[in-house]
Amino acid sequence: MKFKKFFYASLMVAGAFCTSASADTFTFTSGMVGNGVDYTFNYNKDIDGAFLRATVTFDLYDLKDTTAGFHVVVTNNSFGVGTNRLVSFGVDVVNPPLTNAFTSGSNEWLASLDQKLPSFPRVDLCAYAGPTCAGGAGGPVPNGTVFGSPDSFDLLLTFKSGAAGGVTFNSPFPSKWQSVGNSLQSQEFDVCTATGSCVTDPPTQIPEPTTLALAGIALLGLAATRRRKA
């Protein structure tokens, strides 16, 4: 138990050095039903010879007290070195609280609740084209969404009640990419904003789990040393 607490604390210390875009809140209301695209996630980062560009659009087509339905289109316009596959994206907090999530109209994209991307906290909602939200080999579509091949699917969210009054997505909205740039590493970063203006900090390169744990241990040791000196 002590080791588990220490390991989680190490991850929290290491995660403190990650950056993300400013907070955003998107609310879907009944007046938006059938009006076309309501919100767009814009992903835009340059790293290791790759220019990562993607959009995820949400079009609310149905809203009831216990359900919300969206048409979702994922477009990857990345260019440069690497295959730069977008394999998952998430919503940090959804209100009212979700009870389930389903996809239809696609053999590629799935959705699930309470998932973890390695460099972000757990997210309430994750859509992914791979074995898990965190990526990896295999799965229904191991390649994810690549340049020039937009994917679309319907996303159905379920709630105990209260959705008719509006469904809110709260940031961060992290994304997972694989085979990025010259090094073909995995990368994760937050969405820019719904309006398309982007921060310029680089995405987070995902280290091996052992490397992350060692980094956290070293940081905790440094903090302890400083406290003793103080």
**Is residue 137 very low, low, confident or very high in pLDDT (cuts 50, 70, 90)?**
low
Q: Is residue 11 part of a domain?
A: no
Q: Is the pLDDT of residue 93 over 90?
A: yes
Is the distance from CB of 111 to CB of 52 less than 8 angstroms?
Answer: no
Q: Which domain holds residue 90?
A: 23-214
Is the distance from CB of 173 to CB of 91 less than 8 angstroms?
Answer: yes
Percent of the residues in the chain that have a pLDDT greater than 90, as a whole number:
48
Distance CA 165, CA 30 (A): 8
Q: Is residue 77 part of a domain?
A: yes
Q: Encode pLDDT of 160-182 as tens digits.
A: 999 999 999 999 999 999 989 99
In our burial notation (b when 16+ CB lie closer than 10 A, e otherwise), range 136-152 reads eeebebebbbebeeebe
Q: Is the pLDDT of residue 218 over 80?
A: no
**Is residue 147 very low, low, confident or very high in pLDDT (cuts 50, 70, 90)?**
low
Q: CATH no. for residue 28?
A: 2.60.40.1170
Residues 123-145 have a mean pLDDT of: 73
Q: Is residue 3 part of a domain?
A: no
Q: Encode pLDDT of 12-71 as tens digits.
A: 333 333 334 456 889 999 999 999 989 999 999 999 999 999 999 999 999 999 999 999
**Is residue 191 very low, low, confident or very high in pLDDT (cuts 50, 70, 90)?**
confident
Q: Is residue 28 part of a domain?
A: yes
Q: Which of 124-138, 147-161, 164-178 has the highest mean pLDDT?
A: 164-178
Largest CA distance in the chain: 63
Q: Is the pLDDT of residue 10 over 50?
A: no
Position 221 scores a pLDDT of 53
Q: Is residue 31 part of a domain?
A: yes
Position 18 scores a pLDDT of 35
Percent of the residues in the chain that have a pLDDT greater than 70, as a whole number:
67
Residues 67-93 have a mean pLDDT of: 93
Q: Is residue 109 part of a domain?
A: yes
Is the distance from CB of 141 to CB of 108 less than 8 angstroms?
Answer: yes
Q: Is residue 89 part of a domain?
A: yes
Give the number of domains in the chain. Answer: 1
Q: Is residue 16 part of a domain?
A: no
Q: Is the pLDDT of residue 103 over 90?
A: yes
Q: Write down the mean pLDDT value for the chain.
A: 77
Position 220 scores a pLDDT of 52
Distance CA 62, CA 66 (A): 11
- 3-class DSSP string for the chain: CHHHHHHHHHHHHHHCCCCCCCCCEEEECHHHCCCCCCEEEEEEEEECCEEEEEEEEEEEEEECCCEEEEEEEEEECCEECEEEEEEEEEECEEECCEEEEEEECCCCCEEEEEEECCCCCEEEEEEECCCCCCCCCCCCCCCCECCCCCEEEEEEEEECCCHHHCEEEECCCEEEEEEECCCCEEEEEECCCCCCCCCCCCCEECCCHHHHHHHHHHHHHHHHHHHHHC
